Structure 1
Amino acid sequence: MAILKEDAPGNRTYALTDQECALFVRLQTGPSNAELGEYLHLTERTVKFHLANIRSKLGGISRLQLCLLAAHHEFCLTSENHDVCLTA
């Protein structure tokens, strides 16, 4: 389940797994599932599974919205708890 906390107005934190974090970071350039899988050594089906989990944790947003979010927001990754902090 995602961590639904705001540490400042407009900042939200979501808990993601290692694989979800790796996929989220790579989404900035809008790669295909096959490209993501090749880069991260995952099957396309596994990529789809992780992307669906990310989208669900972020409120059921579309793939396009997810790519735009990764590309147009500043974010930081914390390795201890795999949180992604998005800044508007």
Structure 2
Amino acid sequence: MNQLRVLLVDDDPLVRTGLSMILASTDDIRVVAEASDGDEAVPAVNRHAPDVVLMDVRMRRMNGLEATAALMALADPPKVVILTTYDLDEYVFDALGAGASGFLLKECSPQEIIDAVRLVAAGEAMLTPSATRRLIGQFVATRTNPRRRQARAALASLSDREREIVTTVAQGKTNAEIGAELHLSEATVKTHITRVFAKLDATNRVQLTIFAYEAGLVSA
């Protein structure tokens, strides 16, 4: 069986040990390396090629936001899940905007952590879509008008069908659910999402969700 490769980035060694033990309890996930801060994350990704990075948001040197942005600039970036004790932390929102695939609260259950790794590795939405959408909606409401104007201007590049796709993604629906609602095959939904990624210069579904809120396709 092909195992999912995971890098742990956290400045607390006890947290890293706990995460490593949780993921070691599975047959399909393997922790390939650990890093104590963002400065160590990029070299570790280059060296170990993880599929998923579990990234602390607040660290002593380079924080999770800066590290996520650096990883997303790589030619073949891994999926990043932000770990935080703050579910309404602006660092988390900015990390999502930089390309993270979602976030988890550190007090979540071991199974939620395992499920999150599997979900983002498969290209699905974040583990806790309701919490993530609440966070996005709250911070988008306070964002400056230029970002909203840019998002609304970008709407012109999307077809009516693509706008429907973005809206349903922002509602937290899976490809299967989107297909059923819009009477499309899952393969067609995936094709539309890929095209939207290219048009909006987005890398994942979370960024589409942020765009949908900023463009006014959905509201908090």
TM-score normalised by the chain length of structure 1 = 0.65
Q: Which range is displaced more, 36-45 or 54-63?
A: 54-63
Cα distance in 2, alignment partners of residues 65 and 48 from structure 1: 16
Q: Which of 1 and 2 has higher RCO (CA within 8 Å, sep 6+)?
A: 1
SS of residue matched to 1:9: helix
Cα distance in 1, alignment partners of residues 210 and 163 from structure 2: 15
CA deviations 1:45-74 (Å, max 9, x no partner) are 00000011111111132122212332x424
Q: Which amino acid in 2 is paired with 1:42?
A: L
TM-score normalised by the chain length of structure 2 = 0.28
Structure 2 unaligned residues grouped into runs of 5+ = 1-144
Which structure would you say has the larger Rg?
A: 2
Q: Say whether 1:75 aligns with 2:216.
A: yes
Cα distance in 1, alignment partners of residues 191 and 174 from structure 2: 14
Q: Which amino acid in 2 is paired with 1:75?
A: G
Q: Say whether 1:32 aligns with 2:179.
A: no
Cα distance in 1, alignment partners of residues 215 and 192 from structure 2: 21
How many residues get paired?
A: 68
Please, what is the CA RMSD of the aligned residues? 1.9
Q: Say whether 1:20 aligns with 2:157.
A: no
List structure 1 segments (4+ residues) > 4 angstroms apart after TM superposition: none
- Percent identical among aligned pairs is 34
Structure 1 unaligned residues grouped into runs of 5+ = 1-7, 77-88
Greater share of residues in helix: 2
Cα distance in 2, alignment partners of residues 64 and 17 from structure 1: 20
